[in-house]
Amino acid sequence: MLRILTLLCFLWVSSASAQTLLVLGDSLSAGYQMAAEQAWPAKLPRALNDHDVEVEVINASISGDTTANGLQRLPQLLERHQPEWVLIELGGNDGLRGWPFNRIRDNLEQLITQTRAADATPLLVQIQIPPNYGQRYAQGFADIYPTLAEQTQTPLLPFFMETVIQKPEWMRDDGIHPMPEAQPWIADFMAEKLAPYLSDAPQS
């Protein structure tokens, strides 16, 4: 009986001290038109295990979300989950709406600030959009991310869709959203890019 109680206490302490990554994204991370367990964030913990990183992943992504939606939701998510890291994958829907650059940038900066205020580490995903509004807007939009990452000293992860979109069999007919078949590759790609940052923290 004592041995069983000791084991239960060990498991409880390990669970309580587990590191947590919160994914705050849009349809690219929510798993558009697929089951939640098919989306790449659900596959990320196993992919990170291949890099000797053990992390609990909370996928708080919602299809259609903008940076403004993220700002509304983040405080409650931070309070509820108390993550060590927040992966910010937002802005695509802002760009597709043609929002002004300063509005997008300010919202992303506030997301970074809110994350740090909660003693969590922000990680920013580079986002790009199709040139629907012309090359000038698309390039200006893309430039928001490296500029903001440098100014705020926030790690910038590459846009995983750059590779996915080159494989038609991985893409839906809308030319924007990845299929379930692409999700394992995205999880492996993100694990490789995230591992150096997540492994800096002590693992339980």
Catalytic positions, please?
27, 174, 177
Neighbours of 136 (CB within 10 A): 9
Distance, first Cα to last Cα, the chain: 25
Report the alpha-carbon distance of residue 79 to residue 9 in Å, rounded. 25
Whether the CB-CB separation of 27 and 63 falls below 8 Å is answered with yes
Kindly write down the DSSP assignment for every residue of 4-39, as one continuous string.
Answer: HHHHHHHHHHHHHT--EEEEEE-HHHHTTTS-GGGS
Whether the CB-CB separation of 108 and 68 falls below 8 Å is answered with no
